[in-house]
Amino acid sequence: MKKFLEKNKKKEKPEEKKNLKTETKKEELPMPKGELVPTDKFKKMVYLKEFTTPQMPAILSAGTKDHYNSMAIEWGSLGVSWKMPIFTVYVKDQRYTYEFMQKTEIFTVSIINKKMFKKFAVYGTKSGRDINKEEVAGTHIRFLDNGGITFDEAEEVFVCRMLAKAYIKQEDRAPALKAFYEKAKQYWKNMDPHAIFIGEIIEHYVRK
């Protein structure tokens, strides 16, 4: 019996050592320095200027070489969703470009130098149903190999592949948004909510 106990005791030792857990020290990361203070950075955002040259108008284009339209926009946002870089734009359904956005796979946002603002003003005041904006404004359209439609005057270009479309129903508007649309009655005849179009940024160009 004594020999049996000694034999099994020797077998237990390595197993005990194997199951021993070593304590690990938790790494203490340095906390950020300074205090959180408010800024007015996002109170000054106009014409997407926080990620482009200040006060640059943006032109949204959609369609094909044979049939397309462009319009000036001042609403838009960059971000990341579904593990993809995205550009979100907003278009009211009475705009001619809306028809193209409903059908297109590719849309383009072109940032125009602020010195060209007057030249591109027609893109925000006239409809492509009635006039040829390029002829009236004297702008120079450019068709990219990836399906994007932009201008020789563009300083920065985002070519996007359509991912999703959404609509904000009137009953879903928060008080702040309701107040915005109420104030907008003076210059918008159609008070239907904007359609939201989200596209994956498949190509980005800057002029150098």
- What CATH code is carried by the domain that includes residue 45? 2.30.110.10
Write the burial class of residue 61 (CB in 10 Å: 0-12 exposed, 13-18 middle, 19+ buried): buried
In a domain, 120, yes or no: yes
φ, ψ at 81 (rounded to 5°): -145, 150
In a domain, 147, yes or no: yes
Q: What is the pLDDT of residue 69?
A: 96
* Phi-psi sector, 13: left (phi>0), alpha (psi -120 to 50), beta: alpha
In a domain, 101, yes or no: yes
- Which amino acid, 129? R
Domain count, the chain: 1
Q: Which two tokens stand for residue 105?
A: 């796979």
In a domain, 35, yes or no: no
Q: Which two tokens stand for residue 44?
A: 């000054």
Q: What is the pTM of this model?
A: 0.77
In a domain, 163, yes or no: yes
In a domain, 172, yes or no: no
For the chain, the helix, strand and coil percentages under 3-state DSSP, each to the nearest 5: 30, 30, 40
In a domain, 198, yes or no: yes
Q: For residues 89 and 149, give the distance between their C-alpha atoms in angstroms, rounded to a whole number.
A: 16
3-state secondary structure at position 130? coil
In a domain, 121, yes or no: yes
Q: Which domain holds residue 101?
A: 41-167+194-206
pLDDT single digits (tens) 33-85? 888 788 877 666 654 544 444 445 799 999 999 999 999 998 889 999 999 99
Residue 91 belongs to what H/E stretch? strand 84-91
Could you tell me the pLDDT band of residue 199, with boundaries at 50, 70 and 90? very high
Contact 135, 99 (CB under 8 A): no
206 has a pLDDT exceeding 50: yes
Contact 78, 51 (CB under 8 A): yes
3-state secondary structure at position 108? strand
Contact 111, 156 (CB under 8 A): yes
Average pLDDT over residues 12-35: 67
Q: What is the pLDDT of residue 53?
A: 43
Cα four-point dihedral sign 185, 186, 190, 193: negative
